[in-house]
Amino acid sequence: MSDVIISFAKVNKWFGQFHVLRDIDLDVARGERIVICGPSGSGKSTLIRCINRLEEHQEGHLSVDGVELTDDVKAIEKVRREVGMVFQQFNLFPHLTVLENLTLAPTWVGKMPKKEAEERAMAQLERVRIAEQARKYPLQLSGGQQQRVAIARSLCLTPKIMLFDEPTSALDPEMIKEVLDVMIDLAGQGITMLCVTHEMGFARSVADRVIFMDQGQIIEQNSPTEFFANPRSDRTRDFLSKILSH
Amino acid sequence: MASTEQQSPATPPASTGGTKTSRWRSRAFRGLAYQVILVVVVLLVGGYLAGNTLENMRVRGIQSGFGFFLQPAGFGIGESMIEYDSSEPYWKAFVVGLSNTLRVAVVGIVLTTLFGTLLGIGRLSRNFLLRTLCTAYVELFRNVPVLLQLLMWYFVLTDWLPDMSAALNPVTGFFLSKNGLSFPIPVWSAGHFATLLGLGGGIAAAWWHARRARHAFEISGAQWPVLWPAIGMLVAGTLIGWLVGGMPGAIDMPERGELNISGGGAVTPEFIAVTMGLTIYTAAFVAEIVRSGIQAVPRGQSEAANSLGLSRAQNLRLVLLPQAMRVIIPPVTNQYLNLTKNSSLAVAIGYPDLVSISNTTLNQTGRAVECILVMMTVYLVLSLLTAALTNWYNTRMAIKER
Ligand SMILES: Nc1ncnc2c1ncn2[C@@H]1O[C@H](COP(=O)(O)OP(=O)(O)OP(=O)(O)O)[C@@H](O)[C@H]1O
Ligand SMILES: [Mg+2]
């Protein structure tokens, strides 16, 4: 088992003419917790969506847990089973109950007995402190509750890597904390995490490394203490002054 | 109307407002008053028109009433699923017409649903050729008037196909000619009861197997094959029943005679043209509805499904289609209704549907009002039944929100 679980090597991506990722080189160690920040449109979402191939890169190499991501469908399937993802808009399945949302992938993708899938789903719901809502439908829950269900859902296939794309930006302030608490718990359990967020408190307390992106490039990366205390590039300083001022 | 003063103190004040509001100004009262006025106006206008019409008809000596329905019709009908001859009364002719309309509607709706759904999914395929073909189909067939299409199919069937004496015989027992399609049918005999029983047993076994498979899936996650075993059970059941019934083997085979094809079952070119034309036309609309229904599901749903590792087929079946259904069903039922109503265009190529029979009756008896009333009532009832079904389905499928 190698120490590096995700490795970008000279990865480039375009949307039509628009060069959205430029020469991305990034190695993520097993168990590492990374926070990615940067201005809107800088390519943060695109970067992490490449990891489970929701977006495909056009140049360079990207491998996840030893599997190189290409057009190979089997490779994509294998990677997707090891990577969980949480979206800004939750993306729960509205026609299924909370419990069914959680058991869908384990039964159909993991071929797990339904009983077992339900037991594990309930355990995950306990973990995000929402077990009592199992029989409800997603749209009957608050935003914070929905996001916790989404986190539980992505944990049901016991992924090695968790991707978070601005998981708290669609939430009212009083719900942000309940979601961050769940994420902090998770971070303490040794799972590899990549999180796009502007919650700098979270970055400080949890991240091993903070990455700053702008215009499709990784401008700067450092430990949170260094990153916030001594930003090296002007663009980082500029960005930090904007988001830390309020 | 109970005024608020009379309500028991335990009940909260009604939304009609405080006790001071006069009942003339309460919203509920006004709503009721408007409805009563509307009904009275409609009745008055309707009564005036009806009275006027009857008076005019009386003055001109036109007879009215539905009594003529019991008189012999005196005309034959080209094709019928029900025994009928020209000495039978008009009402029987109408029933035959209705059955012909329903035959086109039912066969057309089933075929349209299958074909339209496949086309709609095909339009979203990643395969360029398939996608383009489906798009071309949709654009072509929904933009040409349906009457034209019916006429075209009818002429293709009756002009390009050979005469009966030189009927095409692509498969043994099947003959295709200007006069339609002839095919073998089994001759009914008592032994077939056993065959039917066997089929029933096969259905029961298949149903039981599907239940056990679902149970097994829930208990152990084992995914038993269901489709093929079920088909096997149906076939085996039917076969056993047939063997037990003494293997009744008489089959009515169409035979090529000197000039024509005799025996077997047959469908007319009129029926084929109407059913095929309406199916091909309506399927284009259904395809569009299915496509837009699937596309109406937010992108995030597919992304979540993909990120969980569901395959494209699983995504379609477990995530997209169930959500798209709620968008798809109402306009698709509308298309079913359109298909049923469009079947009245069959009159243009001489298929004896309800409208065609009604026209003939009207010409023979001169009872225009009655004939048109009957037709309108039938189509109205069909529409209302479909609407009721749709409503029932919609309430069942509604996504639960808070
Ligand atoms: N499917 C797409 N087609 C074309 N352009 C796209 C697509 N997705 C994203 N883009 C563009 O790529 C750029 C980077 O997008 P991305 O979503 O990765 O930014 P981001 O850093 O996550 O921004 P935000 O903070 O607003 O979420 C943006 O300019 C966006 O408009
Ligand atoms: Mg983003």
Q: pLDDT of A92-113, one tens digit each?
A: 999 999 999 999 999 999 888 8
* Per-residue confidence (pLDDT) for residue B401, from 0 to 100: 57
The count of structural domains within chain A is 1
pLDDT of residue A2 exceeding 60, the answer is: no
- The neighbour count for residue B336, using CB atoms within 10 Å, is 21
Over its length of 402 residues, how does chain B's per-residue pLDDT go in tens digits?
Answer: 444 444 444 445 444 444 556 777 788 888 888 889 999 999 999 999 888 888 887 788 777 777 777 888 888 887 877 888 888 888 888 899 999 999 999 999 999 999 999 999 999 988 999 999 999 999 999 999 999 999 999 998 888 888 877 778 777 778 888 888 888 877 777 778 888 888 899 889 889 988 888 887 777 666 677 778 888 888 888 888 888 877 777 777 777 776 777 777 778 889 999 999 999 999 999 999 999 999 999 999 999 999 999 998 899 999 999 999 888 988 998 899 899 889 989 888 889 889 988 888 888 888 888 888 899 999 889 888 888 887 887 777 766 654
- Chain B residues whose CB is inside 8 A of the A114 CB are 217-219, 221
Tell me if chain B has a CB within 8 Å of the CB of A135.
no
Assess if residue A191 is contained within a domain.
Answer: yes
Question: How much is the mean pLDDT over chain A?
Answer: 93
On the question of pLDDT at A213 being above 60, the answer is yes
Residue A23 forms part of a structural domain: yes
Q: What SS3 class is residue A46?
A: helix
Q: What is the ipTM of this complex?
A: 0.93
H or E element in which residue B149 lies: helix B146-155
Q: What is the dihedral of CA A15, A48, A121, A29, to 10 degrees?
A: 150
Of B220, B223, B400, nearest to A140 by CB-CB distance is: B400
Beta carbon of A113 within 6 Å of any ligand 1 atom: no
Q: A215 in contact with B at a CB cutoff of 8 Å?
A: no
CB atoms A113 and B219 under 8 Å: yes
Name the packing angle between helices B227-244 and B192-220 (round to 10°): 150
With contact defined as beta carbons under 8 Å apart, do A83 and B186 qualify?
no
Q: How far is B19 from chain A (nearest CA, A)?
A: 37
Q: Mind telling me how many Å the CA of A10 is from chain B's nearest CA?
A: 24
Interface of B with A in 313-342 (CB under 8 A): 314, 318-319, 322-323
The pLDDT value recorded for residue A223 is: 94
B164 vs A77: CA distance, rounded Å: 58
DSSP string, A143-190: HHHHHHHHHHHHHTT--SEEEEESTTTTS-HHHHHHHHHHHHHHHTTT
Closest CA relative to residue B123, chosen from B288, B314, B317: B288
A154 contacts in B (CB within 8 Å)?
Answer: 307-308
Per-residue tokens: A120: 């594990």
Tell if the pTM clears 0.80, that is, is over it.
no
A148 confidence band (pLDDT: 50, 70, 90): very high
- Please indicate if any CB of chain B lies within 8 Å of the CB of A120: no
For residue B201, the surrounding DSSP H or E stretch is helix B192-220
Does residue A188's CB lie within 6 angstroms of at least one atom of ligand 1? no
C-alpha B342/C-alpha B352 separation (Å) is: 14
Contacts of B100 (CB under 8 A, 6+ apart): B79, B80, B81, B271, B351, B352, B353, B354
Per the structure, the complete domain to which residue A71 belongs is given by 4-88+161-244
Give the helix/strand (H/E) hosting A222.
strand A217-222
Cα–Cα dist B197/A35, whole Å: 68
Burial B96-130 (b: 16+ CB within 10 A, else e): bbbbbbbbbbebbbebbbebbbebbbbbeeeeeee
Distance CA A197, CA B99 (A): 66
Is A201 among the domain residues? Answer: yes
For residue A44, being part of any structural domain is answered with yes
pLDDT of residue A160: 94
Give φ, ψ of B11 to 5 degrees. -75, 135
Query: Nearest C-alpha to atom 3 of ligand 1 is from which residue?
Result: A15
Higher pLDDT among residues A208 and B261, named by residue? A208
Res A65: pLDDT: 93
For residue B291, give the nearest of B394, B143, B111, B139 by alpha carbon.
B139
Contacts of B6 (CB under 8 A, 6+ apart): none
CB contact under 8 A, A114 and B217: yes
> Which SS3 state, helix, strand or coil, does residue B267 take?
strand
CATH (domain of A32)? 3.40.50.300
**pLDDT score for A85:** 96
Tens-place pLDDT, residues A29-79: 999 999 999 999 999 999 999 999 999 999 999 999 999 999 898 999 999
Contact at CB, A95 and B300, closer than 8 angstroms:
no
Assigned domain for A132 exists: no
* In contact, B248 and B189? CB cutoff 8 Å: yes
- Around ion ligand 2, which residues have CB less than 5 A away? A 45
Domain assignment of residue A106, yes or no: no
Assigned domain for A128 exists: no
Contacts of residue B35, defined as CB under 8 A and 6 or more positions apart, other chains included, come to none
